[in-house]
Every structure is written in C-alpha cells, then in structure tokens.
Amino acid sequence: MTRGAATTVAIVGGGPAGLMAAEQLSAAGVQVDLYDAMPSVGRKFLLAGRGGLNLTHAEPFEAFAGRFGERRAQVEPMLQTFDAQALRDWAHGLGIETFVGTSKRVFPTDMKAAPLLRAWLHRLRAAGVRFHMRHRWTGWSCEGAALRFATPDGEVSVSADATVLALGGASWPRLGSDGAWVPLLRERGIDIAPLQPANCGFDVGPANWTPFFAERFAGQPFKSVAIDFEDGQGRRFSRKGEFVATATGIEGSLVYAVSALLRDEIAARGQATLHVDLLPDRSAAQVLAAVQQRGARSLGSHLKSRLNLDAIKSAMLHEVLPREALHDAQRVAATLKAAPVTVTAPRPVAEAISTAGGVRFEALQGDLMARAVPGLFVAGEMLDWEAPTGGYLLTATLASGMVAARGVVQYVALVGS
C-alpha cells in the first residue's frame, strides 16, 4: 500500500537523536512523521536510565569536546549548538531538575529516565508529531524516491520532502539498534566506517582466566585500582577507578574509558597488555616494605593484614605470577603496582554500551545531509564518532539531532523556493 499524502519530513528512529530532530522540526512549523520498528520509542534511553540517567557532564567545554578524540573537529560545532548547559536547560523546560554529582556527571534529581521521556513525548504529540510504531525501515522503492517499511499489516511506502535517519548503531540490537541500515546506505553510495564495539568489555587471553578465578570472581569488582596503558603509537591512558571481572575477561567503567585504545591496539597487533595498579594509594616503596615483612604467614593473609588487599586482588597475583614467583618479594610488590593483563578481543558489538564507526562525516555536509542523497540527513549514533561514558554520548546525540533538523528546515525551504 502507499500512503496518499506525502509527509513533509519523515524521521526514522525513535531514540534521542530522532526525538530531538522531531522537536526542532515541529517547533519550526514542519509536519513530522516519526517511524520506529519497536512498539514504543526511547527503549535504549530508558535502559540507560535504570542505574540513574547520566544526562551530560559538567566539565569545561574544552575538556568536554576533547572527549571525542579524532572526531572532535566534526563534533565540536554540534556541541556549540547544544552543549551540556543547554541540555540541562532543555530538561528544566520539561520539568526535570538536574544536579551535578561528585564526578561532575549530571543526573535528573530523581535519577530516572521515564519521567523525562514521558514529558518529552507529551510535548511532541502536542506539537503535532505523528508516531508510527512497528514500522521497520527496509530501504527505498526501486525509483529511490519513497521510503519502504515493513509493518504488521504489510509493506508501507512513504514519500517525504526530506528524511532524517536516526537508527542508532549496532549495540543492544534487541532494543532496535541492529545496524541493518549499513548495506542500505552503502547501496546509495554513502561511505560507512565499519561498526565496532565502543565502551565495551574484553576477553583476556590466551586461555582466559583460570577456572577457579572465573568461577570464584566473575561479576566481582576491582575497587580503588588504576589502569595504565600505552599503545604502539605512544598514546597513553592512566586513570584510577574500578572495573569488574567477568567469566572471560574484564569490563566496567575504567575499562570502558580505555576501550578505544585497547580495541585499536588489538586490531593492529592482535592483543593489548594493560597494567593494573592494585594499590594506587600506596607508593612502590611502601608496598615493597610491606611485602618484605611477610614472615611465616601465607601470602594472602599477610597482604590482607598489611595492605588490606581483598580476595580478588590477591587472586590476581596468582593469575599473572607463576607459583615460584610468589616467594619473591620484589616480583610480588612490582606486580601489585603493575599487574599485567593481556586482552585479545573486545566483546561483541551487541554487548557494547555504544558503537564506533558509522556514516563518515566526509560523506555528509556540515548540516549532516548526505552528499550522495540530497534530502537525506543522518543523526545520532549512526555517525562515525565515539566518546566515553559520562554523558558525552547522549549530549552529542541530541546535538546531532538538532543540527540535522536545522539542516532539514533550510533544505525544505530551498527546494520549495
């Protein structure tokens, strides 16, 4: 079937980027039809808010923009359009108050995503945005002019004056972001960097943890540790925090922060070795002195007594040191300050928090319109950028939706003139 009246603008994807584009377009007096494959919008957004919705980060703009690494030049102009303070002001306009945590991360006062999403959807519906759920985008018609959707009632064809694609990356596919758009865009001549996991965990190698360690400590955190890593290009990461042991490797906030460097090093050299300081608040001399005072006690008991070393950190020594080395105070102390952990593969992109790769900025104009397909705009995690967790991802996603919407307004006005 074919819809009789052409919509002015079609937005495909009901995540933050698509919703922000819809808000901006409807405010500009444009009729918006938003399509999503899922039964409801904002599913990944709601999942992200389960542990407390991290909206943005309150650090200075210069540092904030620097979090986007090699894509800073492309992302920074979007952030200048909609930065961290603008996001907080926008949330306030929806009736959601925010606060800055001790880590400078910004959260809603009630720490929940659902109230913000409800208020946002109420505003969009009041502005006339029309939502079409269970519409899975499958590409274009043979002529390339109309969008095609698979629905429970059969295929639907939609004509639009402009289209915004905001389909997400490939992480959390059960929530709708499955990367199925990649071949569809490539067929239209749009250059796409391969999708890769970002903010992800890693498998350790070559045989993962020992069975004892995996069974005993999978899911338990390494608290108050530091990771130090330098890749083959001389890029350095050193930060204190915590991460979690898994059955096959490591994950968690501190690992996510270094994940881009680890992933790229594995791609280049087959593996990456990071070093974990299990006692970052003690100097190497202090640790050595404490280890040397062992006496007749078992190593685990002694380290717990003298250095307050918990079970998982003590077990780490047995994972990375041969048995005979456990009697060498110098090697034990050195390992406590720099335990080597070799990772051999990132976890699959479907398990990652976010996705790297996507539509290259070189394939887009500054307003995020595809050079190869006039009238087609791209926003959100489909773009070839990545950033650490901490509110950076959401801020840039919303900013891209705003930039794409402004581009649509200019394009529609130009075509209609």
In Å, the largest CA–CA distance within the chain is: 88
Task: Give the model's confidence band at 6: pLDDT under 50 very low, under 70 low, under 90 confident, else very high.
Answer: very low
Q: Is residue 2 situated within a structural domain? A: no
pLDDT at position 297 is 75
Q: Tell whether the model's pLDDT for residue 406 goes beyond 50.
A: yes
Q: How far apart are the first and last CA of the chain?
A: 31
Query: Which tokens hold the place of 250?
Result: 């490591």
Is residue 193 domain-shared with residue 207, that is, in the same domain?
Answer: no
Chain-centre distance for alpha carbon 321: 34
Is residue 127 domain-shared with residue 218, that is, in the same domain?
Answer: no
Is residue 171 domain-shared with residue 123, that is, in the same domain?
Answer: yes
pLDDT at position 293 is 85
- 12-65 pLDDT, tens digit per residue, is 999 999 999 999 999 999 999 999 999 999 998 998 877 789 999 999 999 999
Measured CA to CA in angstroms, residue 143 lies from 8, 139, 377 at distances of 19, 11, 19
Is residue 225 domain-shared with residue 189, that is, in the same domain?
Answer: no
Task: Give the model's confidence band at 207: pLDDT under 50 very low, under 70 low, under 90 confident, else very high.
Answer: low
Q: Which of 149, 157, 130 is nearest to 37 (CA)?
A: 149
Is residue 332 domain-shared with residue 407, that is, in the same domain?
Answer: no
CATH number for the domain including 44? Answer: 3.50.50.60
Q: Is residue 1 situated within a structural domain? A: no
Query: Which tokens hold the place of 398?
Result: 């919303």
Beta-sheet strand order (sheet of 56-57): 56-57, 105-108, 98-100
The set of residues, in sequence order, having a beta carbon less than 8 Å from that of 33 and lying 6+ positions away, is 7, 9, 10, 11, 129, 130, 132, 158, 160
Q: Tell whether the model's pLDDT for residue 231 goes beyond 60.
A: yes
Is residue 184 domain-shared with residue 214, that is, in the same domain?
Answer: no
Task: Give the model's confidence band at 206: pLDDT under 50 very low, under 70 low, under 90 confident, else very high.
Answer: low
Q: Tell whether the model's pLDDT for residue 417 goes beyond 70.
A: no
Q: Angle 385-388-393 (CA atoms, 0-180°, nearest 5)?
A: 60
Residue 13 to residue 30: CA distance in whole angstroms: 18
Is residue 137 domain-shared with residue 179, that is, in the same domain?
Answer: yes
Is residue 333 domain-shared with residue 371, that is, in the same domain?
Answer: no
Pairing, β 272-277 against β 221-230: antiparallel
Last residue of one domain, picked from the residues 346, 366, 383: 346
Residue 191 to residue 260: CA distance in whole angstroms: 21
Residue 236 to residue 74: CA distance in whole angstroms: 23
- 102-141 pLDDT, tens digit per residue, is 999 999 999 999 999 999 999 999 999 999 999 999 999 9
This prediction has a pTM of: 0.91
Query: Which stretches within 139-272 are classed as H helix?
Result: 181-186, 211-217, 253-269
Task: Give the model's confidence band at 1: pLDDT under 50 very low, under 70 low, under 90 confident, else very high.
Answer: very low
18 burial via Cβ count (<10 Å: 0-12, 13-18, 19+): buried
Q: Angle 229-234-235 (CA atoms, 0-180°, nearest 5)?
A: 60
Q: How many domains does the chain have?
A: 2
Q: Provide the 3-class DSSP secondary structure of residue 99.
A: strand
Is residue 185 domain-shared with residue 44, that is, in the same domain?
Answer: yes
Domain that holds residue 234: 202-346
Residue 108 to residue 114: CA distance in whole angstroms: 11
CB environment 92-128: b (16+ within 10 A), e (fewer): eeeebebeeeeebbbbbeeebbebbbeebbebbeeee
The set of residues, in sequence order, having a beta carbon less than 8 Å from that of 37 and lying 6+ positions away, is 134, 135, 136, 137, 176
Residue 66 to residue 76: CA distance in whole angstroms: 9
Residue 339 to residue 336: CA distance in whole angstroms: 6
